[in-house]
Structure 1
Amino acid sequence: MRKYLIPLLIAVGIGLVGWVGYDYSRSGEQIAAFNLDGSEGSTDLIKLDPSMNPLRAILTVSYEIELLKGTSAAFDYDILMAGLGGVEVFAAQGQQRDKRDDNTPEYATKSSELVIKTFAVPVPGEYLLDWRIAPVEAKILGQSISLRRNVEPLRVAFLIPGVLSLALGFFLLIRSKRKGR
């Protein structure tokens, strides 16, 4: 029984964490998707109303990067959603970083899907997204933003047991390897 406990804990942890992450980014219904050309711009207007709340904005970027050191900054992003009357709904900024575990160079093509914001529309109307995506150490191949409506919140009740199961599984694995020496 003991030899099956560690793989079972790790599998359950990966399953729960993976399911929660997938559910978080895919819950609700997609209502808009915009392919983004260039390094900055504005999307077309989209009609939104409070019955769609909560909404979630997801940024997807495909890029090539050469990882030469421990951590490389791939790109910076700055997204702003506003209504026609100038009402700011949300602003999000960040940086995508990729980690290199060893010291040998690696050239990689990656796709990053970032949940940039879960938000609520205050009043019915037309809204647009202003965006800027600036490559740092990566070459951007493609980028898009999608909006999903009536999304579910992060399921913390499943995430915590998943993380704990993973941590316990890896702790027991390391401990058993040390005892086996």
Structure 2
Amino acid sequence: MYKFLVIILFVLSVGVFGWTMHSYATSGEEIVSKRLQGPSGEDVIVGLDKSMSPVRIIFNVKSEMHAQDTTNPAYKYDVKLLDPVGTIVGSEARTQSEKKSDQGPSFERNNQNHIITTVNVDIDGDYRLQWKISPKKAKITGIGYSVRKNVEGMNIPFMLLAGGCFVLGWIVLIFGRR
């Protein structure tokens, strides 16, 4: 009985977490989707206005790599969103790592969507996206970005529910054996 309850709690936790993250990333309406060229550059996002707030910027990276270690630094990226007067209104810089899916070296193809920022449009006009991506162990096969308008925030009650189910699953697992 305890094993069945533990499995249900863990599956519920993962399901609610995944559904909440998917809803967060895909909320609103996509207004721009564009492929980018080169390891660095700048692109103009034309015509953002206050009625589109909040706006979410998603950076997409397609890569291939030969994963040999348990954790492999794939690439490093730095993306900035600037408003029409040149002020940075959102940014993210980090190194993406990939884990092997099984024993021994393996060839991995990945398509990662990185949520860079969610901002309110305070100044109507053309915003600029600046990017720089540096491969580590991966070969970058494509980069791009998308802009979504009128997005929703994170559903905190559902995230708390997912966390609560996860913790409760561990409690039942530990104390159910006694």
TM-score by length of 1: 0.87
Distance 1:62 1:19 in 2: 23
Structure 1: gaps of 5 or more residues:
none
Shift of 1:80: 1.5
What's the counterpart of residue 94 of structure 1? 94
Q: 2:3 touches 2:173 (CA, 8 Å); kept in 1? A: no
Q: CA deviation at 1:109?
A: 0.7
Bigger shift: residues 44-53 or 167-176: 167-176
What are the superposed Cα offsets for residues 40-74 of structure 1, whole Å, 9 maximum, x if unpaired?
A: 11123411112211111111111111222221111
Checking the alignment, whether the CA contact within 8 Å between 1:59 and 1:115 is kept in structure 2 is yes
* 2:66 corresponds to: 66
**Equivalent residue, structure 1, for 2:42:** 42
Unpaired stretches in structure 2, ≥5 consecutive residues: none
Provide the residue aligned with 1:156 in structure 2. Answer: 156
The answer to whether the Cα contact below 8 Å between 1:70 and 1:102 also exists between their aligned partners in 2 is no
CA 1:21–1:104: 2 relative to 1, 3 Å: same
Distance between the aligned counterparts of 1:115 and 1:82, measured in 2? 16
Measured in 1, the distance between the counterparts of 2:71 and 2:2 equals 37
2:59 touches 2:143 (CA, 8 Å); kept in 1? yes
Secondary structure of the corresponding residue to residue 121 of structure 2: coil
- What is the RMSD of the two structures over their aligned residues, measured on CA atoms? 2.3
| Pairs aligned (count) | 178
SS in 2 for 1:166: helix
Identical counterparts, % of pairs: 32
SS of the equivalent of 2:59 reads strand
Change (3 A) 1:101 1:108: closer
CA distance in 1 between counterparts of 2:117 and 2:129 reads 12
CA shift for structure 1 position 26: 0.4
Are residues 46 and 135 of structure 1, via their aligned partners in 2, closer, same or farther at CA, if it must alter by over 3 Å? same
Q: Pairwise mapping of residues 11-160 of structure 1 onto structure 2 (< 5 A)?
A: 11-100=11-100, 104-160=104-160
**Alpha carbons of 1:171 and 1:41: their partners in 2 closer, same or farther (altered >3 Å)?**
same
Residues 23/45 of structure 1: CA separation in 2 closer, same or farther (3 Å cut) = closer
Q: Deviations over 1:138-161 (max 9, x none)?
A: 001111111111111111110121
Partners of 1:70 and 1:103 within 8 A in 2: no
